[in-house]
Chain A
Amino acid sequence: MTKSIDQEILYVEKKALNLRRHVLRMAEIVGQGYVGQGLGIADLLAALYFREMDYNPKRLDWPKRDRFVLSTGHYSIGLYAALAEAGVFPIEELDTYGADGTRLEMSGSEFTPGFEMTGGSLGHGLSQAIGMALGIRLDGYSSRVFNLLSDGELQEGSTWEAVMSAAHYKLDRLYAFVDCNNQQADGPPASVLGIEPVRDKWEAFGWHAQRIDGNNVEAILHALDVAKDVKGKPHAIILDTLMGRGVSAFETREKNHFIRVESDEWELARLQLEQSAL
């Protein structure tokens, strides 16, 4: 039976909460990490992995699968959470996050099941997503490719090489999500190297572009539905997100690109997360 849109929103929100729980579980073990990004992007990943994408967690090489392409390797903590929740690997494996010899490295790579490529060196993901989409089109499949970039990644020149070419090839089954969490390694992009107006830039490069609250599941699902009806152009969905979303102690930190958390703070973090869902 088809779910109503309200049911879908509730379902995805519940999944997003689970992903945030997994993120805290991983981060607590190593005591630090890209917790802010993992929490901030949970709503998008929940929307993609638990409503939007057509894939089989037990057959990751299915050629007709929709693909999620992670450019930003340090967001891996979020993707591990989604993949574990989806059943790609056991949830218990999350406890190996960042440990020596683990499959779940701090900056993830294609050697982890469910990773389509190796991100982390920024400015690679969109080009590879384009290549995947061109191959899919040659094969005559209707699969889609979803790429996640960060706002800071817009400073990489190669990103714009890719943006230009995707529009040229009219790849309307390609989606680029730009996570504008307003933090990069040296501070907010406006103080590092200004990137705005982001939506105007993508539109000027020939994309169909939307800008939404990236922590609002309803807005994400709606944007995906809108994009589906636009033909002949690739789709940019720019997400304004809050780093550390769901844990107020992390949301309010001034510098949360890479968070170090004292051992006695985790209980509070978990408590705040559960309260945020009430």
Chain B
Amino acid sequence: MSSTTLNAHRGVTANILASAPVGTRPTSLAPFGHALIAAAEMNPRVVGLTADLGKYTDIHLFAQRFPERFFQVGMAEQNLIGIAAGLSRSGYIPFATTYCVFATRRAYDFIAIGVALGKANVKIIAGLPGLTTGYGGTHQGIEDLALMRSIPNLVVIDPCDATELRQAVAAIADYDGPVYMRLLRAQVPIVLDPATYQFKIGAAVCLRPGNDVGIISTGLMTERALDAADALKQEGIDAAVLHVPTIKPFDHEAVCEFADSVKVVLTAENHIMTGGLGSAVADTLMQYRIYKPLTKIGIPDQFIECGSVPHLQARYGLNAEDIARTARRELGIPVSELTGDVLRTVSVA
């Protein structure tokens, strides 16, 4: 194969700024930045901070609008969280942005002891969740939900889209306590209808009723779960979708009720399959004696290489067709009955 042909089939690791949406839905530009400005206009105690990632976390919009209420702390994530905690102790509502990897890996003790222990009113907004960057293990926040979920007192949110992100910013600004929220930045798909959807901290939402397979999803995987449900419906498979934006506190009741109503349960998360949504669902179902077959879809227990985002998401099985394929398999539908579209091979390393 000539190198020209090879390149024609390859994606490339993009600039880190580009976290291009994969789907075909309309998008909204920098929903977090605009929502934070709106929250700050409502409440003069809202302030913003970043650790040299203003543009990359969309908080630069807030900084332009409220320069006196914005603090650039430089590349120092421990100090970022510490200063945010101190601001909260002076009665402010700090929103501190960085990437998932830096917030959780570098500043863990500062989040646990400086923020969570005494329920300081700090909002940690963390970009590049899971496989939304082409950069490798250094930048992909693949295990942040597991780390944050294990800290007492902390609210942990993985929003699905621009609609939810906007609503969640308003909700956590009103909530008096520590929050870790994953960020979707730049052009963010609009999946949920802003006219009807209502985000509430701690509440899971059934977006699609159904009886055969129940897909429990969080974050950007909810868009793919909905697409998978549509594809399955075409084949006569009744797929339900429960969106769980809040990983902690966990909506045990909704998860139990949902799992009880279907034959098999899938979980779908943009996160390793250890300690995140799938683990939370498994804990809950066992604890409440809901014995249903459970299959996790997520990132395997390994560090992921660099690559283009679509390539990585396909390679590690995070697309709608991967969810649909897993659903058919778990429902025991023979492979021979699958359509060509479904047979698309996804090689998982």
Contacts and interface: CB of A to CB of B under 8 A. Distances in A.
Q: Chain B, interface size: which category?
A: 20 to 34
B83 A127 contact: yes
Contacts of B69: 138
Contacts of A162: 79, 82-83
B264 to A, nearest CB: 44
A139 B91 CA distance: 10
Interface string B35-74: 0000000000001000000000000000000001101011
Query: Which has the most chain B C-beta neighbours within 10 Å: A120, A123, A138?
Result: A138
A117 interface: yes
A43 interface: no
B78 A134 contact: no
A104 interface: no
Interface string A134-150: 11101100000000000
A134 B84 CA distance: 10
A118 B114 CA distance: 7
Q: Is chain B's interface secondary structure helix, strand, loop, or mixed overall?
A: helix
Interface string A75-110: 000000000000000000000000000000000011
B78 A135 contact: no
B86 A135 contact: yes
Nearest to B110: A124
A164 B76 contact: yes
27 contacts: A63-B90, A63-B91, A109-B117, A109-B118, A110-B118, A111-B118, A117-B85, A117-B86, A117-B89, A118-B114, A131-B86, A131-B87, A131-B90, A132-B87, A134-B83, A134-B86, A135-B86, A135-B87, A139-B91, A157-B78, A158-B82, A161-B78, A161-B79, A162-B83, A164-B76, A165-B76, A168-B74
Interface of A: 63, 109-111, 116-118, 120-121, 123-124, 126-136, 138-139, 157-158, 161-162, 164-165, 168-169
Interface of B: 47, 68-69, 71, 73-74, 76, 78-79, 81-92, 94, 109-110, 113-114, 117-118
